[in-house]
Chains A and B, each alone.
Chain A
Amino acid sequence: MRRAGAGRRITPGVLIAVALGLGAAVLVALQAGRGGVLQAGDDGAAVAGRVATGPARASENLVDRIGAMWSAAARVQQLERENRELQTWRELAERLAERNRRYEALLRMPVNSFGEGADIERSIAAQLVLDSGGPFTRTLVANAGAEHGVRVGFVALNENGLVGRVVSVGRRTSRVLMLDDYTSRIPVLGESSRVRAVLAGQATRPPELISQPYQVQAPRLDFIVGAQDLREGERIITSGDGGLFPRGIPVGVAQGGRDGQWRVSLSAAQRPIDFVRLVPFVGLEAPEQTLTADAGPPPGVSSSVAVVRREVMTAPPTAPTPAPRPRIVLAPRTDGAAQPPAPPAQIQPEPAPSGPPQ
């Protein structure tokens, strides 16, 4: 039988519980407003957690690695395939870079390399896609044709100089007659000596052309006027005579042969001709072609000039003038305001030059 009050004993468990409870309460009271302890606990917990879960993660990576080993062969094949594709793209990029470099070189052509009067704004850059395939003719085919605005007569040149002239045009291609074709005849002049000549394509290949890096041959100079003044190494440019080519396009360098024949080492032969600019050129019409029959001073304008006479300037003694040209002579008039319109022009044939061209 228990005595009264003898059963009210505090067990150790209760004491521990109370102590812990109080300690918790104190702890809560102490860390109120400060998270450092909690953060420190988290850090510690994280370290513990990493240590605890490390083997699990390690085994997970191991599984992945083992799985990757199984698919290594397929991965290698994929990488090889990607490598081949990248190589293809690299080659394409290099080709495009080279093409871009060539286009830039073409676009950087100085204005004076086009000659005087060339319509640079409407020039067309084209790539040469076919070379001359036969032993008889010397032509090139460019990948620009009528659809691109190319017309027969366009001047073909590159950054080195004159290449030739467009002689036929298709829808998307055009054929360029090169300067060394046996039918090519270009009026040229020496840049410093002003000696005029005709650059004639070669029908035969001179031996010295074997040293030429490319197929372009050295045309000869015919009908040289003042050959004694032509200098070795002198730059040859187009003279513009005849109206087919602008004046001042670089053609090449004069070279005297052992046989006394002057040839031109073409500037275009300095490197392979791959890109060209096709430049339209509309030559200025001769004054006698544009002169109308009733030309004269405007009405109401008085002039003290009794006789208005225009005639074609005769060619200088050094220039060849093969064909006679008509001479236009206007009738005399005394007062432009009071007089009726001038009578039709009288066209008289001009006599041929006395000396034949050389």
Chain B
Amino acid sequence: MSWRAPSGGVLRAFGLALAVASVVLPALPLGPLFAQPPLPLAVLWAAYGWAAEDEISWTAPVVLAALGLLHDQLAGGPYGLFVALYLSAYLAGRVAAVLMSAPNLISLWGGFIATALATVGVAWLLAPLGLGRNAPLTPYAETVTVTAILFPLVRPLYMQGQSRQQIRART
């Protein structure tokens, strides 16, 4: 009996489910398992991976915006903060995908770290606007750090191969 690697569609579905779970599960009163922050924010993985994989798809930003709105609602607002964070991760991921000529794990990891730092910068700009000037940025930075550390483990869920743009560039 041979083991077959799951297809790209299955991995993508798992990635989306993980992203949704990372938004919803911390908001549910499930006890200490999900109550001890910081938990990774899988939507950042999804934004980065989808940006590299599907440059021409319009569904990725729409899904990211919807997840951002859901996250804003669960967190108690303000609406738009997480939408901006996730879409900024998507845009930073696009830039990183263009800059990487020969992506490997290290460069992909570095690209994700840069993307995550970009979202921290966006949070530094936007959080005081929506939450007041004393809005804490450290918990989000901790969350992003954990997310960046765990990126190599989940990369296959979001980045099955090289981006079409990179393939076109090679050909």
* In the complex, chain A residues whose CB is within 8 Å of the CB of B134: 182-183, 203
Whether A136 contacts B75 by the Cβ 8 Å rule is yes
Whether A129 contacts B136 by the Cβ 8 Å rule is no
User: With A and B bound together, what is the CA distance between A272 and B29 in angstroms?
Assistant: 9
Tell me which residues from 1 to 42 in chain B have a Cβ below 8 Å from any Cβ of chain A. Answer: 23-24, 26-29, 31-32, 34-38
> Taking the complex as formed, is B71 at the interface, i.e. its CB lies under 8 A from any CB of chain A?
yes
A136 with B29, Cβ < 8 A, contacts A131-B35, A215-B37 known: no
Whether B76 contacts A204 by the Cβ 8 Å rule is no
* In the complex, chain B residues whose CB is within 8 Å of the CB of A130: 27-29, 74
Whether B35 contacts A134 by the Cβ 8 Å rule is no
Whether A213 contacts B32 by the Cβ 8 Å rule is yes
User: With A and B bound together, what is the CA distance between A351 and B139 in angstroms?
Assistant: 42
Residue of B nearest to A140 (CB): B29
Of the residues B23, B32, B140, contact of A133 by C-beta under 8 Å? B23
Residue-wise interface mask of B (136-159) relative to A, using a CB-CB cutoff of 8 A (1 in contact, 0 not): 101110110000000000000000
A181 nearest CB across to chain B (Å): 9
Of the residues B26, B35, B76, B127, contact of A139 by C-beta under 8 Å? B76
Whether A131 contacts B37 by the Cβ 8 Å rule is no
Whether B71 contacts A133 by the Cβ 8 Å rule is yes
> Taking the complex as formed, is A135 at the interface, i.e. its CB lies under 8 A from any CB of chain B?
yes
A135 with B142, Cβ < 8 A, contacts A203-B134, A203-B136, A214-B35 known: yes
Main secondary structure of the interface of B (DSSP, over half): helix
Q: Output the residue of B27, B72, B74, B136 with the most chain A CB within 10 A.
A: B136
Whether B36 contacts A215 by the Cβ 8 Å rule is yes
Of the residues B31, B139, B142, contact of A136 by C-beta under 8 Å? B139
A293 nearest CB across to chain B (Å): 39
Residue of A nearest to B36 (CB): A215
Number of chain A interface residues as a range: 20 to 34
Of the residues A135, A272, A273, contact of B140 by C-beta under 8 Å? A135
A53 nearest CB across to chain B (Å): 63
Tell me which residues from 181 to 206 in chain A have a Cβ below 8 Å from any Cβ of chain B. Answer: 182-183, 202-205
* In the complex, chain A residues whose CB is within 8 Å of the CB of B99: none
Whether B32 contacts A136 by the Cβ 8 Å rule is no
The count of chain B contact residues (Cβ–Cβ below 8 Å) is 32
> Taking the complex as formed, is B131 at the interface, i.e. its CB lies under 8 A from any CB of chain A?
yes
Main secondary structure of the interface of A (DSSP, over half): loop
Residue of A nearest to B73 (CB): A133
Whether B74 contacts A134 by the Cβ 8 Å rule is yes
Q: What residues make up the interface of A, taking CB atoms closer than 8 Å to B?
A: 128-137, 139, 141, 168, 175, 182-183, 202-205, 213-215, 272-274
A-B contact count (CB 8 A): 85
* In the complex, chain A residues whose CB is within 8 Å of the CB of B142: 135, 205
Q: What residues make up the interface of B, taking CB atoms closer than 8 Å to A?
A: 23-24, 26-29, 31-32, 34-38, 71-72, 74-77, 81-82, 127, 131-132, 134-136, 138-140, 142-143
Of the residues A129, A203, A205, contact of B29 by C-beta under 8 Å? A129
Whether A203 contacts B138 by the Cβ 8 Å rule is yes
Whether A205 contacts B74 by the Cβ 8 Å rule is no
Q: Output the residue of A134, A204, A214, A272 with the most chain B CB within 10 A.
A: A134
Given A215-B35, A274-B29, 16 new contacts (CB under 8 A): A131-B28, A131-B29, A132-B75, A133-B74, A134-B82, A135-B37, A135-B140, A135-B143, A136-B136, A136-B139, A182-B136, A202-B136, A203-B135, A205-B138, A214-B36, A215-B37
User: With A and B bound together, what is the CA distance between A215 and B135 in angstroms?
Assistant: 18
In the assembled complex, 13 residue pairs joining A and B whose CB atoms fall closer than 8 Å, in A order, are: A128-B29, A130-B28, A131-B26, A132-B75, A135-B38, A135-B136, A135-B139, A135-B140, A135-B143, A136-B131, A203-B138, A205-B37, A215-B35
User: With A and B bound together, what is the CA distance between A39 and B26 in angstroms?
Assistant: 82
Q: Output the residue of B127, B139, B140, B142 with the most chain A CB within 10 A.
A: B139
A217 nearest CB across to chain B (Å): 10
* In the complex, chain A residues whose CB is within 8 Å of the CB of B139: 135-136, 204-205
A134 with B75, Cβ < 8 A, contacts A182-B136, A215-B37 known: yes
User: With A and B bound together, what is the CA distance between A131 and B33 in angstroms?
Assistant: 13
* In the complex, chain B residues whose CB is within 8 Å of the CB of A137: 75-77, 131
A214 with B32, Cβ < 8 A, contacts A135-B140, A182-B136, A203-B136 known: yes
Residue of A nearest to B31 (CB): A272
Closest 6 CB pairs of A and B: A134-B75, A133-B27, A133-B74, A203-B136, A135-B139, A215-B35
